[in-house]
Amino acid sequence: MNKDLQSIQPDRPNIITTEIDAVKFHRKMDTKAIVARMIVREQVIVEKFYSDGLEILAELKRNLSLKYTDKSFQGQRDYRSAFREASHRLLLKVKDNKLLVKKSPEIGWLELLYPDVSEFYVSFPEVQGMNSSWQWYKKGIEVETLNLILHPFYGTYFPTRFDHLKLFDKWLKNYVGSKEKAIDIGVGSGVLSFQLIQNGFENIFATDINKNAIIGVSQECKRFGYEDKITLNHGDLFENCDVKADLIVFNPPWLLAKHKLEEGIDKAMYYEKELFPRFFKHSYEHLNSDGKIVLIFSSLAEVVDEKSTHPIIEELRNNNRFRKDLHLRRDVRASSRRTKRTNSRRKEKVELWVLAPKLKK
C-alpha cells in the first residue's frame, strides 16, 4: 500500500462529545409529545431501551406523513428531508465503544471507527446505519465469480447481485491482450480488481473518491495476499495516477444526480453531469494505444425516464476518441443498489461496454 494511505482516516458518522441540553426519554413519557418537541428542534436522548428509539422514529414517520400529504416526487422528497432532519435529533450515548441503552445491538464499528473517543452521543439513524453495515461486514458477501467472501468496510458500496460480475468474468476469460497494467476507477469493495488479479493481471492501480473504500480494500488485499498486485489511491478519477494501462475498468454510478451529492455511498449511486466527460478525457490519456476501456453500466436510467441520456452513447456520438469494440447486455436477476425491486427494475438490463481508442497516439 502507498505510504500516504497509512495515515488515511475513515469517514465516520458525526458525533457530539460535549454535554448537551436534551430531553431524556423514558417509557412513562408520551411519545407523541416527544416527537412534537423533536420537530421544533429539541434534541432527545434515548436512555433505557434501544426499542424506545425505534418507537419514537415510527411515531415521527406517522406524524410527518400526516403533514406531508403531497404524493408528487417533490412532495415525497420534502417529507424524506423533514424526517431526516428531525430523526437526527434523536440521540444515543456511547461509552467505552458500547451503546448504553439496554437490548441494543453489538456494533463493532463503534470501536473500529472511534478508538480515540471514550464517550459521545450519536444520532439514532447513524447507529442504525452502522448496525446494518456491521451485519454485512461480519457475515460477508459470497462472490461466486471470485470464489471469495468479501467483508465490506463501513460506508463502502458492495454488490448484492452479480450479473455484471458474470458479464465481466466472461469477457475477461476471452481477453487476449496484454495483462501488464490495469486501472480500476471506483474500486469500491475491490471486486473488479480481484477479478483482474485472478485472471492474470500483474499490476493494478485501484482508486476511489471514497476513503473508506480504500481502507477496506487495503485490508482485503492483506487477507487475500494481493498486496503486491495492487497500488491503492484515494482521489478523484485519475488523480495521482501516472500509469498508462492496457485496461481501464469502471463500474460507475448509474443515475444522473438531481441533488447535491454527499460523500460516501451517494457518489456510488449518482453521478454529476461532468463525471463521464472527465472520465473519457483522462482515460484517453491513460490508455495504451492498443488498450481497452471496460465500463459496466445499466439501462436503469433509461427505464425510469425515457428521455434520459446514456453517457457512454453520448461519448461515442459526440467525440472522436473511442470506438465501440463490444456491447453485451444481460437481464437483471435480483434487486440491488439498495432499492426495492419495482416494475421498472424488472425491465432493467446490465451492460458491459468495451471501447478502444480511435486514433493512434
Ligand X SMILES: C[S@@+](CC[C@H](N)C(=O)[O-])C[C@H]1O[C@@H](n2cnc3c(N)ncnc32)[C@H](O)[C@@H]1O
- Between 121 and 153, CB nearer to ligand X: 153
Q: How far is the CB of 263 from ligand X (least distance, A)?
A: 9
300 binds ligand X (CB under 6 A): no
- Between 12 and 267, CB nearer to ligand X: 267
Rounded Cα distance, 68 and 64, in Å = 6
311 binds ligand X (CB under 6 A): no
Among 89, 229, 267, 282, binds ligand X (CB under 6 A): 267
Q: How far is the CB of 251 from ligand X (least distance, A)?
A: 3
Rounded Cα distance, 156 and 158, in Å = 6
**Closest among 107, 100, 120, 126 to 48, alpha carbons compared:** 100
- Between 16 and 304, CB nearer to ligand X: 304
Q: How far is the CB of 130 from ligand X (least distance, A)?
A: 19
245 phi/psi in degrees, rounded to 5: -120, 160
Q: How far is the CB of 21 from ligand X (least distance, A)?
A: 37
**Closest among 149, 221, 159 to 188, alpha carbons compared:** 159
Torsion sign (Cα): 345, 349, 352, 353: negative
Among 268, 295, 316, 350, binds ligand X (CB under 6 A): 268
Q: Count CA atoms closer than 13 A to 307's CA, side-chain side.
A: 0
- Between 125 and 252, CB nearer to ligand X: 252
Rounded Cα distance, 328 and 334, in Å = 19
Q: How far is the CB of 170 from ligand X (least distance, A)?
A: 15
Q: How far is the CB of 217 from ligand X (least distance, A)?
A: 10
- Between 121 and 254, CB nearer to ligand X: 254
Alpha-helical (H) ranges within 91-187 are 109-113, 124-139, 163-174
Binding mask 141-160 for ligand X (x = CB under 6 A): ----------------x-x-
Site for ligand X in 194-253 (CB under 6 A): 207-210, 213, 236-237, 251-253
Q: How far is the CB of 277 from ligand X (least distance, A)?
A: 12
**For every residue of 172-234, which 3-state class applies, written as one string?**
HHHCCCCCCEEEEECCCCCHHHHHHHHCCCCEEEEEECCHHHHHHHHHHHHHHCCCCCEEEEE
203: CB partners within 8 A, 6+ apart: 180, 181, 182, 229, 231
- Between 64 and 295, CB nearer to ligand X: 295
**Closest among 43, 47, 82, 52 to 66, alpha carbons compared:** 82
Which residues share a beta bridge with 141?
150
Stretch that binds ligand X, among 8-16, 135-143, 188-196, 281-289 (CB under 6 A): 188-196
For 41, counting Cβ atoms within 10 Å of its Cβ (0-12 exposed, 13-18 middle, 19+ buried), the class is: exposed
**Count residues contacting ligand X (CB under 6 A)?**
22
Among 192, 196, 204, 294, binds ligand X (CB under 6 A): 192
Site for ligand X in 157-186 (CB under 6 A): 157, 159, 185-186
Residue 96 gets the label, from left (phi > 0), alpha (psi -120 to 50) or beta, of: left
- Between 72 and 147, CB nearer to ligand X: 147
**Closest among 10, 40, 56, 80 to 234, alpha carbons compared:** 10
- Between 159 and 311, CB nearer to ligand X: 159
Among 101, 122, 187, 301, binds ligand X (CB under 6 A): 187
Footprint of ligand X on this chain (CB under 6 A)?
A: 157, 159, 185-189, 191-192, 207-210, 213, 236-237, 251-253, 267-268, 275
